[in-house]
């Protein structure tokens, strides 16, 4: 089965060259066969292709028609969030997980080209806004192959990872290889990889060399929660994939048409402390889950559930693991006493609207900002026309 286009093969050749030079410059360890290093380097692209071949029967190509954004940008390229993208089959009857980035335009019509090559209409059922995932269901009866998942407990930093995606309408998937840089990022929601991720493979899988799905490639950012946050890092070597292992409850909720949103507790704390001292509350947002649970200023948050809180920054990371509607146990220290309080997290309030820009005040006698012309002292003020002179 042909997996790579000619363009993709050239990319692989360019990417493999620095690796080959690096390995060639490293002296082999005692008792190690130098030729084995060379063979490993030469065999790596074959392993990447084999991994893609194993997962490809469980991939689909997704196209959205219509929407609220312009069709193409000034350079003639499709704008972010447009064009055919990738999805991963998660059940034989046609449920598909992909990235919400692929639907920034909110297209009213979604079609899917399945592994059998047939085009079908699909419905967007639910979203997970904390992980930038969404769930589609194709119409009609299908019997599709579901790719295997890599257990999250088996993932290791440094292992090979391959991103697979139908970039902007390619009939064959493109590949980008790298390693797993970290197994727990963005409040433990994602795996980090240095494989080049971009709109070309958002929604597609990050797979191991056995072709098992490590996670779904999505744009994420620890600094921002906007729809497209993280996309600015495309092809930078900083990419994220959300593991599906452990998301069974979220999948069930999305099948029911729910939109899962991040949880909000409603406290402001000292940003840093002396870990593991906990997070000292400086302010409680009125009518927030924290206020309803009985949290108070000067309380020291010691634990959320079974997780000990180090400081205010760590508290934000831990709360980021939960959804709105989740109930959590908050253990605080109030004076010399420990209290266990129950809080039901809410949807975060909308950000405050930006202040309106002040209106420019037109200056008399010319353009805004120009100094007005001063009257000539010799001539005095201009005389009014006779018809406009005031009556005596």
Domain chopping of the chain, boundaries: 1-258, 267-344
Tokens at residue 337, please? 């006493």
Q: Which CATH architecture has domain 1-258?
A: Beta Barrel (2.40)
* Per-chain mean pLDDT for the chain: 81
Each residue of 31-56: b (16+ CB within 10 Å) or e?
Answer: eeeeeeeeeebeebbeebbbbbebbb
Neighbours of 316 (CB within 10 A): 15
Tokens at residue 84, please? 């055919």
pLDDT digits (tens, 9 = 90+) for 145-175: 999 999 999 999 999 999 999 876 667 888 9
N-terminal to C-terminal alpha carbon distance within the chain = 102
- pLDDT-derived band of residue 13, with 50, 70 and 90 as boundaries? very low
Instruction: Write down the pLDDT at residue 353.
Output: 73
- pLDDT-derived band of residue 10, with 50, 70 and 90 as boundaries? very low
Instruction: Write down the pLDDT at residue 363.
Output: 57
Whole-prediction pTM: 0.76
- Angle at Cα 142 formed by Cα 140 and Cα 145, nearest 5°? 150
Q: Is the pLDDT of residue 377 over 60?
A: no
- pLDDT-derived band of residue 270, with 50, 70 and 90 as boundaries? confident
pLDDT digits (tens, 9 = 90+) for 89-146: 999 999 999 999 888 878 889 999 999 899 999 999 999 999 999 999 999 999 999 9
| φ, ψ at 132 (rounded to 5°) | 60, 40
According to CATH, what is the number of the domain 267-344?
2.30.42.10
The dihedral built from the CA positions of residue 69, 75, 78 and 79, taken in this order, carries a sign that is negative
- Torsion of the alpha carbons at 73, 79, 83 and 89, rounded to the nearest 10: 180
Over residues 31-35, the mean pLDDT reads 64
Of residues 384 and 343, more confidence is placed in 343
């Amino acid at each position: 089965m042909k997996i790579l286009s000619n363009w993709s093969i050239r990319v692989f050749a360019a990417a493999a060259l620095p690796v080959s030079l690096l390995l060639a410059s490293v002296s082999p360890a005692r008792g190690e066969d130098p030729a084995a290093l060379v063979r490993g380097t030469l065999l790596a692209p074959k392993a990447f292709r084999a991994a893609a071949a194993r997962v490809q029967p469980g991939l689909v190509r997704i196209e959205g028609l219509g929407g609220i954004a312009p069709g193409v940008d000034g350079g003639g390229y499709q704008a972010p969030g447009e064009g055919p993208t990738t999805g991963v089959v998660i059940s034989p009857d046609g449920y598909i997980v992909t990235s919400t980035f692929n639907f920034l335009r909110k297209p009213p019509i979604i079609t899917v080209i399945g592994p059998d090559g047939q085009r079908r209409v699909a419905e967007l059922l639910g979203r997970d806004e904390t992980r930038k995932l969404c769930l589609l269901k194709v119409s009609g009866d299908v019997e599709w192959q579901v790719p295997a998942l890599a257990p999250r407990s088996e993932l290791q930093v440094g292992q090979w990872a391959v991103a697979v995606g139908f970039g902007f309408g390619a009939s064959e998937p493109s590949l980008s290889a790298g390693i797993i840089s970290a197994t727990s990022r963005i409040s433990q929601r994602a795996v980090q990889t240095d494989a080049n991720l971009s709109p070309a493979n958002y929604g597609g899988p990050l797979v191991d060399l056995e072709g098992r799905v490590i996670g779904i490639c999505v744009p994420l950012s620890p600094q921002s929660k906007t729809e497209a946050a993280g996309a600015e890092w495309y092809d930078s070597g900083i990419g994220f994939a959300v593991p599906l292992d452990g998301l069974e409850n979220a999948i069930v909720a999305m099948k029911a048409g729910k939109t899962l949103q991040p949880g909000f507790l409603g406290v402001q704390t000292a940003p840093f402390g002396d870990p593991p001292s906990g997070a000292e509350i400086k302010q409680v947002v009125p009518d927030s889950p924290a206020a309803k649970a009985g949290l108070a200023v000067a309380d020291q948050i010691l634990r959320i559930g079974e997780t000990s809180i180090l400081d205010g920054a760590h508290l934000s990371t831990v709360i980021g693991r939960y959804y709105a509607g989740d109930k959590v146990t908050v253990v605080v220290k109030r004076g010399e006493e420990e209290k266990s309080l129950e809080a039901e997290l809410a949807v975060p309030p909308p950000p405050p609207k930006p202040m309106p820009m002040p209106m420019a005040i037109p200056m008399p006698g010319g353009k805004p900002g120009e100094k007005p012309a001063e009257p000539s002292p010799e001539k005095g003020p201009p005389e009014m026309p006779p018809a406009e002179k005031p009556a005596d």
